[in-house]
Amino acid sequence: MDYRILGLNKIFSEHKLLELKESRSSVISILSYFATSLFDKDKVDEVLWDITENCISRLGLEDCVIYLLDENDKVLIQKAAYGNKNKGQRKILSPINIPVGEGIVGYVAQSTTPEIVQDTTHDKRYILDDIKRKSELCVPMILDKKVIGVIDSEHSKKSFFNETHLLLFELIALLTVKKIEHLKEQPRGPFTNDNAYFKQFFRLLDKEKIFKDETLTLTKVAESLNISANYLSQLINTLSDSNFSKLINRYRVEEAMACLKKPDFTNYTVAAIGYESGFNSTSAFYNAFKEHTGITPAKYKEKYLF
C-alpha cells in the first residue's frame, strides 16, 4: 500500500480511502500534505488558514472561502479565504456573514447536504460577494451531527466543478472537522517508530542516499514526501534524537569514512571525498568529520591505508 495512504488511514475511514483510485494519486498527495501540515496548529483560525494556503491553493481553483457557524446568531462567518477574497496577512477582503438558510452557502448549512451548482445565473439563491461567478461548490463541515461551518468555492466557468472536486472537498471538510475536534481533546499523541513517513525518510537515506545531494534541505525532503517541513522536523527531532542537519551530516560522514578506507578512492583527495559524500565545502566536511570521529579526515585516511 502507498505509504501516503498509510499516513491517512488514521484520519479517514476505509471506505473513503477506497474511493481514491490510483488515478487520483495527486489527490492523495494533497491530502497527505494537508494532514501533516496541521500537526502543530492549536487554534481553529490557524487550521482554516492553513487549509486555504497549503491545500486549496494546490487545486487550481479561482476562489475558496471557509465559513464557521455562529450558533448564537445563526450566521455563517467568513474565516479564511483563497483567491481574490484573501487580501494578505491572513485577512479577508470585505468579509460578509450569511444567515443559515439564505444563499447557497446558507442553504447547504441548513440541509447538511453538499451541492454543486453548475450555473449560478439560474439559481435565485446565489449571493454576490466579491465577483460574480458562474458555478459553485459548497460542502458542509459536520461535527457530532451538527453543521459547524461550510467550505465554499466559486468559478468563473459554468459547469466547472465535478465529482472529483466534490469528493476532495468532502474529505477536506472531514479532516478539518477532525482537527477542530482534536483541539478540544487532549494534546496529540507521541510519534512512534512505525510512522509511515519516518520509515520512508530513512529508506530515502539508506537506499537512495539522498544525503549525497549537496543542495538537500529539510523543505526539499518534505516536498518529496508530500508533508510539511515542520511535521518532518518534529518527526526527526522526536524519533532520531537529533535534528535534520546533524542527521544528514552523520550520514555524509559515515559515507566519507567508508570511502576513505576503500582502495578505489586512493587517488581521491580528502576534499574530493567530502564533496562525493554530499558536503558543499571543505570546511563543512572537516568540521563535521572531526565532530563525529574526533580526528580529521586526513588522519583517518592515514590510519586505515598506511
**How many whole angstroms separate alpha carbon 223 and alpha carbon 199?**
16
Domain-by-domain residue ranges, the chain? Answer: 38-183, 196-305
Domain 196-305 has CATH 1.10.10.60: yes
Q: At what angle do helices 229-239 and 244-260 cross, to 10 degrees?
A: 70
The tens-digit pLDDT sequence of the chain (306 residues) is 455 555 556 555 666 666 655 446 656 666 666 667 766 677 888 889 988 988 888 888 999 999 999 998 999 999 999 999 998 889 999 999 999 999 999 999 999 999 999 999 999 999 999 999 999 999 999 998 999 999 999 999 999 999 888 888 988 898 889 888 877 664 455 678 888 889 999 999 999 999 999 999 999 998 888 787 888 898 899 898 889 999 999 999 999 999 998 888 888 999 999 999 999 999 999 999 999 999 999 999 887 765
The CA distance from 52 to 152, in Å, is 11
Helix (H, G, I), strand (E, B) or coil at 135: strand
DSSP string of 137-186, one letter each residue: EEEEEEETTEEEEEEEEEESSTT---HHHHHHHHHHHHHHHHHHHHHTSS
Supply φ then ψ for residue 161, to 5 degrees: -80, 140
Closest CA to 151 of 138, 162, 134: 138
User: Cell 457530532, residue?
Assistant: 144
| Whole-number Å distance between alpha carbons of 70 and 95 | 14
288 closest CA partner among 260, 235, 248: 248
CA distances from 282 to 8, 9, 148, 219 (A): 42, 45, 57, 24
Longest dimension (CA), the chain: 87
The CATH code of domain 38-183 reads 3.30.450.40
Other Cβ atoms within 10 Å of 303 Cβ, number: 12
Q: What is the pTM of this model?
A: 0.64
Give me the residues paired with residue 135 across strands.
Answer: 155
Question: What does the radius of gyration of the chain's CA atoms come to, in whole angstroms?
Answer: 25
The helix or strand, by DSSP H or E, that contains position 81, with its residue range, turns out to be strand 75-83
Question: How is residue 133 written as a grid cell?
Answer: 461567478
